[in-house]
Amino acid sequence: MKVDGVVRPPGDKTVTHLALMTAALTRSRVTLLGPLTSPDVQVTARVLRQVGTEVSPVRHGRPLTVRGRRWTAPTRSLDCGGSGTTVRLALGALAGRRIEVRLTGNERLGSRSLRDLTIPLRGMGASIVGERGEGLPLRIRGGRLRSFSFYTPTARAQIKAALLLAGVSGGVAVTVTDPARSRDHLERLLGHLGFTVHVGEKTVALSGAPERWPKIGARDLEIPGDATLAAYWVAAATLAERGGLCIEHVGVNPTRSASFTVLTRMGARFERRSRRTVGGERIADLFITPAPLSAVDVSANETRSMIDELPVLAVVASRAHGESRFRAVGDLRVTGGRRLELTAENLRAVGCRSEVQDGDLVVQGTDRPPRGRVETAGDHRLALAFTVLGTLRGSSVELSETASIRRSYPDFFADLERIDVS
C-alpha cells in the first residue's frame, strides 16, 4: 500500500466526556468543537439531560452545546448502558448534588465492581447503596461533602477524575495521589477554565474555595483528536510500502503519548508539526513515513498506560524484525477483558506467532502476508488494529464484524479508502 494525504481522527473520547460533565456543573454555556459522537458520549449526554442540563443533539460532524443548570432529581433511573466512563464520572458529579438518583447499566457493566470509587465517595460524605453489592444498580444521594485526600492503590485516571468532579460539584478541596502518573486531562481542563489546581508528578489538588472559582461564561472548547485512534493511522503509514501521511490535530498529551514513544523505539518515523496548546491540551499534526521496524521490549509501567493501544502495537510488532515482549499484560485482564488473549489468538489466526507467556504478551515478527479470520468480540480496538494489518500487500484478513468500528469512528473506512493510493 502507498499512503498519501491527510486524515483527522475523531475527537478524544475521554476529553469529550470530561468536557461534557464539567460544563454541566458550571451553569455556563459551553460549546464543544470537534467532539467524539460515539454511543458512549450519547449516553453521557442523555444522563445529563435527565438531571436538568441542556445538551444539544449529539450528531456526527456537529458541535455539541451544553448549558449547565441546577441539577434536579430525574423521574426515572439513569441508564448508563455499557459506558463505564459515564457511570464513574456521573457518580463523582452526583456526590455533591443534593438529589437521590438510581444508576443502572447493561449486564456487562452491572457485573463490574465500583468499590474503588464508592468507598472514597462515601468518605467524602455521599450516601451510596448498591442493590447487589458494589456494582450497578445502585442509589446515590449527594449532599454536603467534606474536603478529602485519597491515595489510589493503582493509577486509575477515571477514579481521580471522578473525585475531582465531586470536589467541583460539592465545592470542597480534593487531593488525589496515584502510585504512578496517570492521564491528566481533567486537571488540564479545570486549569484552563480558571479553577485552582495544583499538579505534581503523582498528586493533584483542587482548591476548595468555591467563592473564588471562575465565572466561566459562554465559551468554546476545542476537543483534540483522539491519540488512540491516531495510533492506527501511524501504524498504517509506518507499515506502508511508500508515501507519507499527515494526521491532523492529534492530542499529544504526555500522559497519552506512550504508544507513540514505543512506536518510535520500533523505528517509526514521526515528525510533529504545528505544535500548539488548545483548551489546556497539547496538539500537533503528525507526519509519518514508512519505516523498517525492529522488535521492542515494553516495560510494565508502559503497558499499564497503553491498554487501549496494545492490539495495534502488537500488530505492528508482528511485522518487526525479532521478538517483541509487552510485559505484565496479565495484570490488565480486568480492564481489557478478553482483549489481550484475543490479540494473541487473532495474530496466530492470521499466521503470526504470539502468546501470553508468564503474564507477558510475546509477538514474533514475520514478513509473511497475514491471512485468516479475526474475532473482534465487538471490540473496535481489535477490529481497527487488524484492519490495519489487512492493508499489507498479499494479505487476506477477514473481520467477524465491522459495526464496532463504524460506531467509534464513522468515517474510518472512507478515510482509509481516500489515503490508500495503491
Cα–Cα distance for residue pair 165/185, rounded to 1 Å: 12
Q: Is 275 helix (H, G, I), strand (E, B) or coil?
A: strand
Sheet of strand 281-289: strand arrangement: 2-7, 242-251, 281-289, 269-278
Inter-residue contact 244 to 289 (CB < 8 Å): yes
> Does an H or E element contain 372, and which?
strand 371-374
How big is the chain, counted in residues?
A: 422
Cell readout for 153 is 492503590
Active site residue 308: yes
Nearest to 262 by CA among 181, 343, 308, 317: 317
- Ranges of H-type helices in 216-275: 227-239, 258-266
Cell readout for 29 is 454555556
Q: Answer whether the bond into residue 311 is a cis peptide, omega within 30°.
A: no
Inter-residue contact 165 to 138 (CB < 8 Å): no
Catalytic: which of 308, 360, 379, 415?
308
Residue 350 contacts by C-beta under 8 Å, 6 or more apart in sequence? 370, 371, 372, 374, 386, 389, 395, 397
Q: Is 217 helix (H, G, I), strand (E, B) or coil?
A: coil
Which residue numbers are catalytic? 308
